[in-house]
Structure 1
Amino acid sequence: MMIFHKLIALLPDLASFTLVVQEGSFTAAAKKINVTPSALSKTITRLEQALSVKLFERTTRKLIITEAGKKIYDQCVPMVNAAKQVVEISSIEHTKPAGSITVAAPEAFLNVVLQPFVVPFLQLYPQIQLKLRAIDGPIDIFEHGIDIAFMLTDKPDENLVLKEIAKTYLVLCASPDYLKDKGIPFHPEQLKQHDCLYLAENETDHIWNFVKGDESHTVTVSGRYAVNHSQMRLNGVINGLGIGIFPDFVVQEAISKGDVTEVLCDWTIKGNYQGIIALQYAQTKYMPTKLRVFIDYAIQHLC
């Protein structure tokens, strides 16, 4: 540990020493870093004392590096070059949209909403690598190593920056053929007589909650088909297997095409995956350009 602390203290002086060798004089090196030659000479003296090694032979006309100084210089060059690369990387990170971005979102949102703009975004920014992860339920961006998370929620994470993309709500729907055969429910209690498709993510997914004004109803539904994949569940509804609940963006196209019909429209369904579509990320003063361009692109195309 003591060696490490000593190394940290020596790093600036070793960098100054390397510059003096490369420039050939204290005067030339001092101009490069905007200090006086005498101040730079004191830095080298301090380094010699710390290392117990003489680095230069000083004469009135010439600065000659010692054998020990040459060996130390040879070790310092890779160190200084590595430091230059670190500075260059950080500069690129904040000027050019390049590097990897990990984005998480619920499966349905990822499939229906994000998928269409992924290819155009990557074509626009060829130096960005995009990693998409389907995560249903709460997303801990720090635990999962996520840069940006899309959440469908009425309680966004207060510890993260929030960009509200849109509002989303739950829709109850069935195919016209199913409703013609089984009848249209006009009250939540009537769902007990219907086949219902639910998520089956946890043991309470078949318990549906409805609100209309001051009136609320909790209904335990049942059915022959349960799946936590939105498109598969929607295909089941389209093909007459029963009534299902979906975020509005999942069924908008199917409703507009007449493949499904919304039911119990005057009731509000309470549950997960509704509220606002929240784009969230960690607060930082130094946001990489790659994240900024993705956030701007998402807001432009989704809001």
Structure 2
Amino acid sequence: MIDLNDIAIFAKVAELESFSRAAHALGMPVSTVSRRVSTLEEQLGATLLQRTTRRLSLTAQGRAYFSQCSGPLSSLYDAESVLARAQKAPEGLLRVSAPVILGQDPFYAFVSSFMRAYPRIAVDLFVTNAFVDLIADNVDIAIRFGDMRDSTLVAQRLGKSLRYLACTPDYLVGRELPTDPEALREHACILLNGRNNEAEWELASGRTTVKVRVSGRLSAHDFQAVSAFTRRGHGIGLLPSTYCDAEIAGGDLVRLLPEWSSPEIFVHAVYPSRRFIPSKLQVFLEALKAWKSPLWIPLR
């Protein structure tokens, strides 16, 4: 099988009409250049170059062969140049998947700031709770909450999230304050992705974890809706701490069972491969890790 490098060496010799000039341009010894061209001629069964002590010229077969291979070689060099630029300069289209919980102004402000910092990068943003197959859907990076089940992907932790039990003071009027997780069964709970208006909440206190089946008249598919109905007094919500810390501190919400919360939920940046990370993805990863998101707690 003919070595493409031999063809490239021959093309350089034909272009410069000199073994020594081609050797200098390629950074090779003249003897190596001559030997590789001879090997190519032997494999082709044709004389490509006419060598004399005074000059070097292409044979008729050499001219025909050079004419046919110079175009494809030029295309290969162009492709290599494009890849090299993509690796060095942050540019090109970056496809990003993010869950609905991130579909708010702070995240959009982060993306806006990133695009201003890297004007040669275009962003195609998918804000969805649907599972996105990074390979099949040609997505460069996804931000995901929870355990990473796909071992073929690379996952970098960005932070962690905790969820608190919270409700309005008005909701508690005329109702008994829950004193343990089991008491939540007697309350109206606002559910995330609840089936048949029921859900199982996992709560942790130190090393103790419990699961309790709760129910309520309201179920939603994103935390914005769960938070909105919790604030309107429709029941108890299990809300990300970053959603409710300020309102708990201000008295607009009450944190119930303060010794209990959800287990730690880690936030990951997920991408397909650790090898040959393009610079557009590398700089986005670095920006994500530096971003002080209001939706997760930084890792220490």
**TM-score when normalising by structure 1:** 0.81
**1:173–1:21: structure 2 CA closer, same or farther, 3 Å change rule?**
same
Structure 2 partner of 1:147:
140
- In the superposition, relative to structure 1, how do residues 214 and 29 fare at CA in structure 2: closer, same or farther (>3 Å)? closer
Q: 1:214 to 1:96 in 2, by over 3 A?
A: closer
From 190, 196, 208, the equivalent of 1:197 is 190
Match of 1:116 in 2: 109
- Contact 2:202 2:210 (C-alpha < 8 Å) held by counterparts: yes
- 1:91 Cα offset (Å): 2.1
Alignment of 1:85-104 (within 5 A): 85-104=78-97
Give distance in 1, aligned partners of 2:267 and 2:244: 16
Work out which of the residue numbers 247, 253, 269 in structure 2 matches 1:260: 253
Letter in structure 2 aligned against 1:75: Q
Give the unaligned 5+ runs of structure 2.
293-297
| Aligned position for 2:283 | 293
Residue in 1 aligned with 2:4? 11
Q: Distance in 2 between matches of 1:155 and 1:288?
A: 23
Residues 54 and 204 of structure 1, relative CA distance in 2, 3 Å threshold = farther
Change (3 A) 1:218 1:57: closer
Query: Post-superposition shift, 1:155?
Result: 6.5
1:276 and 1:130 map into 2 onto residues whose CA distance is: 25
Paired residues of 1:112 and 1:249 also in contact (CA < 8 A): no
Match of 1:13, SS state, is helix
Quote how far apart the aligned CAs of 1:70 are.
2.1
- Over 3 Å counting, the alpha-carbon distance change for 1:140 and 1:171 in structure 2 is farther
- Within the candidate set 50, 59, 64, 2:52 is matched to 59
In structure 2, the CA distance between the partners of 1:28 and 1:203, relative to structure 1 (3 Å rule), is: farther
How many angstroms apart in 2 are the aligned matches of 1:176 and 1:160? 44
- CA gap of 1:36–1:210, structure 2 versus 1, over 3 A, is closer
1:173 matched to 2:163? The reply is: no
CA distance in structure 2 between the aligned counterparts of 1:222 and 1:204, rounded to whole angstroms? 6
Contact kept? 2:148, 2:155, Cα under 8 Å: no
The match for 1:209 among 193, 202, 206 is 202
Q: In structure 2, do the counterparts of structure 1 residues 296 and 211 end up closer, same or farther at CA, with 3 Å as the change threshold?
A: closer
Q: Tell whether the 8 Å contact from 1:210 to 1:218 is kept in structure 2 after alignment.
A: yes
Cα distance in 2 for partners of 1:218, 1:28 equals: 77
Task: Identify the match of residue 84 of structure 1 among 62, 73, 77.
Answer: 77
Partner letter of residue 71 of structure 2? Answer: P
Map of 1:3 onto structure 2: none
Distance 1:48 1:299 in 2: 55
Q: Distance in 1 between matches of 2:189 and 2:44?
A: 78
Pair 53,254 (structure 1): closer, same or farther in 2 beyond 3 Å: farther
Identity over the aligned pairs, expressed in percent? 28
User: After superposition, what is the alpha-carbon deviation per residue over 1:269-297, rounded to whole angstroms, capped at 9, x for unaligned?
Assistant: 35xxx433233445635332222211221
Whichever residue aligns with residue 296 of structure 1, its letter is E
Task: Return the match for 1:45 from 30, 33, 38.
Answer: 38
Q: Which amino acid aligns with 1:35?
A: M
- Classify 1:143/1:185 alpha carbon distance in 2 versus 1 (closer, same or farther; 3 Å): farther
Q: Which structure: greater helix fraction?
A: 1
Question: Structure 1 stretch 122-131 or stretch 42-51: which is displaced more?
Answer: 42-51
CA distance in 2 between partners of 1:132 and 1:182 (Å): 44
SS across alignment from 2:220: coil
**SS of residue in 2 equivalent to 1:185:** coil
8 Å Cα contact 2:165/2:261 also seen in 1: no
The 3 A distance-change label for structure 1 pair 214 and 13 is closer
Q: Residue deviations 1:89-144, cap 9 Å, x none?
A: 23222321112333334321454763331110111111112233346488765565
Q: Quote the residue 2:295 is aligned against.
A: none
Instruction: Give me the CA root mean square deviation.
Output: 3.2
Task: Confirm whether residue 246 of structure 1 aligns to residue 236 of structure 2.
Answer: no
TM-score, normalized by length of structure 2?
A: 0.81
Amino acid at match of 1:301: W
Q: What secondary structure is seen at the aligned counterpart in 1 of 2:47?
A: coil
Structure 1 SS opposite 2:217: coil
